[in-house]
A = this chain, B = another copy of it.
Amino acid sequence: MDCKKALEACHGNEEAAVDHLRKQGISTAAKKAARVTSEGSVASYIHAGGKIGVLVEVNCESDFVARTDDFKDLIKDIAMHIAAADPKFVRKEDVTPEAYEREKEIYRAQAAATGKPAPVVEKIVEGKMAKFYEEVCLIEQPFIKDQNISVGQLIATKVGKLGENIAVRRFARFKVGDPNVTIAATTFQEQQPKE
């Protein structure tokens, strides 16, 4: 109830509403309201003697499943995959329009530099963009330990086996001395109220 009032007072801005509640001293309730009820596990993978490190959170529906060897193996495989394949996003849906357009612009300029006619350039760009998701999205990438399946398909087989939904929530990848860091998270869509 406090949360609802705070949200209304802050015109639906969640972060501002939490501040609003904290100002009133109702921070504990605010924290609870902000918590997503999901189970799962965080795993890490350190590669090449500490030169590359990955942290990944994978969610499932119950702590029981989170503690199974099947789930633990899966999350370990995913962390190792991220270290090797260097994805930039979790899913297709998480690619920002800016990142998409920026990549397209680069491909277009590269293709244009070949001096080929405009329709051919567009064909080349289209071809490259089709490959783009497969290259940058974890879920679309071919699994490093079995290139015949994607990481998404690897997860799907575990979902079938364990009987619970499983989703990669977020990951971070650091490489020593590399100023670029990958921090990726699934973007949650707003729940539509049912009619």
Contact = CB atoms under 8 A, between A and B. Distances in A.
Interface in A115-137: none
Interface string A152-183: 00000000000000000110101111111101
A52 interface: yes
Contacts of A43: 46, 50, 53
B35 A179 contact: yes
A50 B23 contact: no
Copies in the complex: 2
A29 interface: no
A39 B50 CA distance: 11
A66 B105 CA distance: 40
Contacts of A23: 105-106, 109-110, 113
A161 B89 CA distance: 41
Interface of A: 19, 22-25, 34-46, 49-55, 57, 59, 66-67, 72, 75, 102, 105-106, 109-110, 113, 169-170, 172, 174-181, 183, 185
Given A41-B51, A57-B176, A169-B174, 18 more contacts: A19-B102, A23-B110, A23-B113, A24-B109, A35-B177, A35-B178, A36-B179, A38-B176, A38-B177, A41-B49, A42-B46, A42-B52, A42-B174, A43-B53, A53-B57, A59-B177, A172-B183, A181-B185
